[in-house]
Structure 1
Amino acid sequence: MSLYSILSSSDSEERWVNGISQYFEKEVAIHNVPVSVFSVPKAISAVKPEAYTPQVIAFGPYHHMEPELYQMEKYKLATIKSFLSLEQILNFQELVIEKLKELEPVIRACYHKYLDHDGDALAWIVAIDGLFLLDILRGYGHAKYSQHKSLKQDAVLCRDVMMLENQIPVILLKQIRKSLQFTSVRDGDDLELFPKLRGFCQIHSPLKLAPISSTPPYSSCLHLLDLMYFLIVNHQATTTRPLEQAICLEKTDARADAVQHQSEVEENDLILNVGEIVQMGMRLGIVKSVLKPVEVIQDMPWEKISNLLGLKMGNEHDKENHPKVEEITIPSVSHLSKFAGVKFSHTAGGIGDIKFVQGEATLYLPIITLNANSEVVLRNLVAYEVALSNSAGKLAQYLDFMCGIVDTAEDAQLLREKGIIKGDLSNEEIADLFNGMNRLSAKARNKTVDEINEYYNKRPMVKGYNFVKKRVFTSWRILTLSSTILLLLLFLMNSFCQVYRCPKFFGRSR
């Protein structure tokens, strides 16, 4: 057998033949069952694989049999037995397993990756994990329970529950509930399950969800992650225009944009470095009569000067912890605020309501709540969006926008002060979260980004600097070096004269 085969033994090959033949025969009956549980492509998971792989518990056939996760099997069984009646336990095979075995083609149709399990094993996996998930969801439809007990009790499990490869299709959850008579006879569509699913999403979603009046029909919900995704992208205020399609530039411009963004970051740092050196010189000029030579040397901004001279004296450890990733070309929050006077405000809508009002010089952003599990949730939501063939990439566009404007803890703090960012993460952790995400979307240009860049580049400070940079681009390092050396010589001469007196040079008498 090939080393790279998806099958592990001859028995697996036999099961594969039987499964394919049965699927082929029954394909007509399940042609309306959409694939909803996708495996995460390596191109997406390579950056941070632990964000897409369950760490504590598995749900569904993709990871159920993995040794490091199977230790939770006894816990699952104990939990299930705690809420099943004795009659349900004794007749579990007939009530649940046999019903799920009849749905084997449907189960396989829900999963994108080939499932190397026979019908019995597949039915048991879905039954155990499905019931355990239903137990987690219990009470989430009630506000009081959701806000206290469930949030505290299930915080550890939420991380794995929201992973794309860990999803249990709703069609199977409904079958389990129906088999165990968890739903009333008159509730044919099992509407009791929808408030539980939505309640879970409400508690654990980093972004606000669409109101119940605008939510999609319950029958269209494929699984928990699917519901959260559509509740997020469909949340839009009626008084603001929608987010322009596609924040990122074309793929062909990706490399050039990354270089340009890096250049702009260095240029903005240059403005700050020169400014600090000039301010230091002014301060020394004012109080030079009381300064001693040692104080002058100690007060010199050596780190800023060394950066201007190309000598990297910064903390290399920090650079390793904040690797540069490919982002869209847009100034950061702090630069927009300092150099262009841009203000920030939160909108009552969602990711479809981002807008920049030039007359107010205000950027409106939706509120996002970031906690310990938020990065995993966001990454898996985007992975699911990428897998959807009919997706417009709205969530990826929004995250690209946030990754572009949040570069440092200062950026996070400014947005936190405006009520745009909430949650338990520190400003440094928020900056790390957004800096660690690579470009997620590759759609057409975004009008809002273009408006912000145009407004920023027209500000007097930025415009003046761009003019100088353009005129003396080839000689700015030489000019900076010369100016810095001259400034140093003046400072040293001043210090020397304060100690040894220089009446001959300055025409002063003692």
Structure 2
Amino acid sequence: MTTKSISNPYSFSKMNVDEDEWVESMRKSILEHEEEVDKVAVSIFSVPNVLLATDPESYIPQQIALGPFHHWLPEVYDMQRYKLAAARRTVKKYNINFERMIETMKKKDEARIRACYHKFLDMSGDALIWMMAVDMAFLLEFLVVYSMKEEGRVIKKVNSSMSHLVDGSGKKLSHMAILRDLVMVENQIPLFLVKTMLEHQCKKVSDDYESVAKETLKKMLMGLYHELTPFQENELPDVDINECDHLLDFLYHLTVPNNKELGIMEAEIDIEEEDIAEVNDEEEKEKDSFAKESEVRRFMNYIWNILSKSNAGLVKVFKKLIFGKPMALLMKLPWKIISSLPILKMMKEPMERMLEKFQGEGEEKSEEDVGAQKSPTIEEITIPSVTEMARAGIRFSPVNGGIFDISFDHITSTLYLPVVDLDVNTEVYLRNLVAYEACVAAGPLVVARYTELMNGIIDTEDDAKFLRERGIVLNHLKSDKEVADLWNGMSKSVKLTKVPKMDKVIEDVNKRYSQTWRVKFAKFMNTYVFGSWKFLTVLAALFMLLLTALQSFCSVYSCARVFHQLPDIQGGSE
């Protein structure tokens, strides 16, 4: 009898691990652990799976990997030769003892580097430090372009080995791809290391090399920000480079500055959560309709109850007569002509929904239909679209600023939105800001809320076109449809959040929109007419009672003789 050997899936022998290195790493981690490292906050994260699944290419580097997360990916490892070339040029240009610099970094910074990453870095100290040093050399050489742009200079020549990747204008496809890779959450390296390498380079140039390195790095990152940001702020906050964890963190602080960076002691607007609480549906209906429930719905229900008790069979007949298939088919015949009339045009969609609803009433629903109804829908911010607001009389005006410059003017009914310049880099840039914000922000998710707002007001290509014509959207994409798809696709990857100032604007816009006569009339018709077959049945019953009374009157007073004596309106005679 043969016995099958059962392999243990958790067997240590199956792990691709060098036992001696593993024991040494455990010993160092426990016995030689520095207490100062515990104070280092994790700053470089993996993108949550719920975000990664929406658009992997926006979060996984396509051209170049920086740091350990994607270093060994075959798709990006081909760039290693260009990294090594950049490191060789750094050694030659600045006469740096690269090996001594590596030894210093390993002794002083290895534990701190590991503490910055939220994942356990399963690699030796030598491999980690060499990887970081080579990646930093490439990054600094790439950022030189943006340092010169920030100073108003134009780079005339790029090293020949990098010329097909990088150009002074930054318009090459490979250059754009690298640019997008630099801002990805998982593609960050600690900024203190970059500053350290710059200090090594500046030692040959200035005695005050620390301040020179800091100033140079800030110019590089400011130039990079101006290249990537879709906003056009007149004034930017003063961000301390020493307080930023990595390149993306610096860009985030410029996009969403804190009170210190804004130069204020406390928040300008302090709104209680209760002030932005959603209004109860019934209260909203009462406030926004022509008549309150006590004046319309109660009267309608009172008449309906009387008719129901007096002659239930007659009511059923009226219901079938009004909402049955014959009447529905009859109503569809002249509908194209009727719906073209200006006043009745706005009633077209509610009437069609009402007919579809009552045509299907009474029919058994299949299990598939029930399942389809129960399927969850993507939660979206509650605000009218751009075209809906425009029809209601709300205006739109561009403002040169950032996210915090969104506002609404009650007097002029104007929604002020920051000018947003959209190109091929914008989606990756904003997605990674949202992802990073979700990982680190203890307060409101400001960038996420902004993308939800833009998704809420831009539903279709027409909405994107409207904002483009008003100068709010500067579109460098192929079409207005791509603009709409960009915002709608991005908001699917984030959950709803609350940002007091922005939510106050949304609340004010909704309040102003609900006060317009078009919206009030539409809500009234949907609530009390198209939303209730009882109302139409009551009208039909009253009409039938009127005809019955008229018939009774004519049977007593001989209406035929009265009608015969009426003058001929056509002017003819028998």
**TM-score bracket, shorter-length normalisation:** 0.7 to 0.9
Aligned to 1:226: 249
Q: What code does the residue aligned with 1:157 have?
A: I
Q: What code does the residue aligned with 1:110 have?
A: C
Find the aligned partners of 2:337 and 2:395 in 1 and give their Cα distance.
29
Structure-to-structure mapping, 1:36-47, within 5 angstroms: 36-47=43-54
Partner of residue 35 from structure 1, selected from 31, 42, 55: 42
Find the aligned partners of 1:86 and 1:350 in 2 and give their Cα distance.
40
**Aligned pair 1:459/2:516, yes or no?**
yes
Find the aligned partners of 2:147 and 2:45 in 1 and give their Cα distance.
27
Q: Over residues 40-88 of structure 1, what are the superposed CA-to-partner deviations in whole Å (9 max), with x where a residue is unaligned?
A: 1112222222211111210111101112211111122223334541784
Aligned to 1:345: 397
**Aligned pair 1:448/2:505, yes or no?**
yes
**Aligned pair 1:415/2:462, yes or no?**
no
Partner of residue 206 from structure 1, selected from 230, 241, 255: 230
Find the aligned partners of 2:381 and 2:14 in 1 and give their Cα distance.
43
**2:202·2:209 contact (CA, 8 Å) conserved in 1?**
no
Partner of residue 210 from structure 2, selected from 185, 188, 195: 188
Find the aligned partners of 2:103 and 2:534 in 1 and give their Cα distance.
77
How far residue 29 of structure 1 moved from its aligned partner, in angstroms, is 3.1
**2:62·2:76 contact (CA, 8 Å) conserved in 1?**
yes
SS in structure 2 of the partner of residue 128 of structure 1: helix
Runs of 5+ consecutive residues of structure 1 not aligned to the other structure:
258-273, 286-301, 312-322, 480-506
How far residue 475 of structure 1 moved from its aligned partner, in angstroms, is 5.1
Q: Over residues 167-221 of structure 1, what are the superposed CA-to-partner deviations in whole Å (9 max), with x where a residue is unaligned?
A: 1211111222233446633132422211111111111112245845x31222112
Cα distance change of structure 1 residues 386 and 14 upon mapping to structure 2, 3 Å threshold: farther
Cα distance change of structure 1 residues 359 and 12 upon mapping to structure 2, 3 Å threshold: farther
Q: Over residues 416-473 of structure 1, what are the superposed CA-to-partner deviations in whole Å (9 max), with x where a residue is unaligned?
A: 1222111412211110011112244423772221211121112111111111111134
Q: Which moved more, 1:377-386 or 1:444-453?
A: 444-453
**2:102·2:133 contact (CA, 8 Å) conserved in 1?**
yes
Larger radius of gyration: 2
Number of equivalent positions = 432
Cα distance change of structure 1 residues 181 and 241 upon mapping to structure 2, 3 Å threshold: closer
**2:354·2:530 contact (CA, 8 Å) conserved in 1?**
no
Q: Which moved more, 1:77-86 or 1:393-402?
A: 77-86
Could you tell me the percent identity over the aligned residues?
A: 38
Aligned to 2:373: none
**1:375·1:433 contact (CA, 8 Å) conserved in 2?**
yes
**2:444·2:499 contact (CA, 8 Å) conserved in 1?**
no
Relative to the length of structure 2, the TM-score reads: 0.66
Find the aligned partners of 2:404 and 2:147 in 1 and give their Cα distance.
27
Aligned to 2:238: 215
Find the aligned partners of 2:170 and 2:85 in 1 and give their Cα distance.
21
Aligned to 1:100: 105
* C-alpha RMSD of the superposition: 4.2
**1:198·1:227 contact (CA, 8 Å) conserved in 2?**
no
**2:379·2:496 contact (CA, 8 Å) conserved in 1?**
no
SS in structure 2 of the partner of residue 462 of structure 1: helix
Runs of 5+ consecutive residues of structure 2 not aligned to the other structure:
1-6, 156-166, 282-330, 343-347, 358-375, 537-569
How far residue 278 of structure 1 moved from its aligned partner, in angstroms, is 6.9
Partner of residue 364 from structure 1, selected from 412, 416, 432: 416
Aligned to 1:127: 133
Relative to the length of structure 1, the TM-score reads: 0.73
SS in structure 2 of the partner of residue 385 of structure 1: helix
Find the aligned partners of 1:366 and 1:335 in 2 and give their Cα distance.
20
**Aligned pair 1:116/2:122, yes or no?**
yes
Cα distance change of structure 1 residues 130 and 308 upon mapping to structure 2, 3 Å threshold: farther
Find the aligned partners of 1:327 and 1:353 in 2 and give their Cα distance.
22
Q: What code does the residue aligned with 2:498 have?
A: K
SS in structure 2 of the partner of residue 149 of structure 1: coil
